[in-house]
């Protein structure tokens, strides 16, 4: 049994981030519902999960006013199962996925907030859009706003390189902010809600906060190390 989520950690994070209006998403992957409940009882409402099956198992056991964020890679065929309750989908990386979110949102009469995942790190990954694909996709979405009424694009999500080199991490977060600004100007001038930057985790959220994050995704700092 690992230690309980610490009230001190949440309070410290709030003290650091709330004055700047930065929202904390508590990343609860691998955590049992009772442990999520402890943070809920401290007023935390935004929780992030990476795996559809795990989220589907936990969501019915927890209060309905939790705002669930899906922060992992999402397959289009799995959108349907989380669409009835998901609040924000952070890692949209294709038009096909966004269209499926739109279609499920429209079937249910819900608006689902979405972020485009950008590949900013030096690490090899098959997830996230490179800059050229990001601009292509943004152009398509910006030119067909009526087609995405239920899959509302609110900004960008990214992960910095896992490194002790703080200058590199800062540079990658700056890049995200710069991309957000360019996209706002070029394609989303009429979308005032396209303004969010989901960046920063336990190890690098302070840098992200200074570089313009509006959402930080914090797991181990709140819950302790994962098993």
Ligand X SMILES: *Cc1c(COP(=O)(O)O)cnc(C)c1O
Q: Which residues of this chain interact with ligand X, rule CB under 6 A?
A: 27, 29, 50, 71-72, 201-203, 217-221
Task: Output the smallest distance, CB 203 to ligand X, in A.
Answer: 6
How many Å apart are CA 154 and CA 195, to the nearest integer?
Answer: 6
Q: Which is nearer to ligand X, 118 or 218 (CB)?
A: 218
Q: Smaller CB distance to ligand X: residue 112 or 142? A: 112
Beta strands per DSSP E along the chain: 23-27, 46-49, 67-70, 88-92, 112-118, 151-158, 196-198, 215-218
Minimum distance of ligand X from residue 218's CB (angstroms): 5
Residue 70 vs 191, nearer CB to ligand X: 70
Rounded Cα distance, 127 and 50, in Å: 13
Nearer to ligand X, 10 or 187 (CB): 10
CB of 33 to ligand X, least distance (A): 18
As measured in angstroms, the least distance from the Cβ of 29 to ligand X is 6
Judged by CB, which is closer to ligand X: 173, or 187?
Answer: 173
Closest to ligand X by CB, 50 vs 104, is 50
In three-state secondary structure terms, 62 is coil
Measured from the CB atom, the residue of 68 and 191 that comes closer to ligand X is: 68
Q: How far is the CB of 50 from ligand X (least distance, A)?
A: 5
Q: How far is the CB of 109 from ligand X (least distance, A)?
A: 29
- Cβ of residue 223: shortest distance to ligand X, in angstroms? 8
Neighbours of 56 (CB within 10 A): 14
Nearest residue to the partner ligand X, using Cβ: 219
Q: Which of 44, 196, 200, 41 is nearest to 120 (CA)?
A: 200
List phi, psi (to 5°) of 106: -75, -35
- Reported residue count of the chain is 227
For residues 78 and 54, give the distance between their C-alpha atoms in angstroms, rounded to a whole number: 12
Burial class of residue 95 (count of CB atoms within 10 Å of its CB; 0-12, 13-18, 19+)? middle
Contacts of 173 (CB under 8 A, 6+ apart): 120, 158, 160, 199, 200, 204, 207, 208, 211, 212, 213
């Amino acid at each position: 049994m690992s230690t309980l989520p610490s009230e001190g950690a949440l309070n410290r994070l709030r003290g650091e981030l709330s004055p700047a209006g930065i929202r904390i998403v508590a990343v609860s992957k691998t955590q049992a519902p009772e442990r999520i409940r402890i943070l809920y009882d401290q007023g935390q409402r935004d929780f992030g999960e990476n795996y559809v099956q795990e989220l589907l198992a936990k969501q019915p056991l927890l209060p309905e006013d939790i705002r669930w964020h899906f922060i992992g890679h999402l397959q289009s065929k799995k959108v349907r199962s989380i669409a009835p309750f998901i609040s924000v989908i952070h890692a949209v990386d294709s038009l096909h996925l966004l269209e499926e979110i739109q279609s499920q949102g429209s079937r249910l009469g819900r608006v689902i907030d979405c972020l485009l995942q950008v590949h900013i790190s030096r690490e090899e990954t098959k997830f996230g859009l490179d800059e050229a694909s990001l601009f292509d996709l943004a152009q398509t979405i910006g030119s067909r706003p009526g087609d995405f009424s239920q899959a509302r694009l609110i900004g960008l999500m990214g992960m910095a390189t896992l490194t002790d080199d703080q200058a590199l991490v800062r540079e990658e977060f700056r890049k995200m902010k710069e991309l957000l600004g360019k996209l706002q100007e070029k394609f989303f001038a009429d979308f005032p809600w396209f303004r969010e930057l989901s960046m920063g985790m336990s190890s690098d959220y302070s840098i992200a906060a200074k570089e313009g994050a509006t959402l930080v995704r914090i797991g181990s700092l709140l819950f302790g190390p994962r098993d």
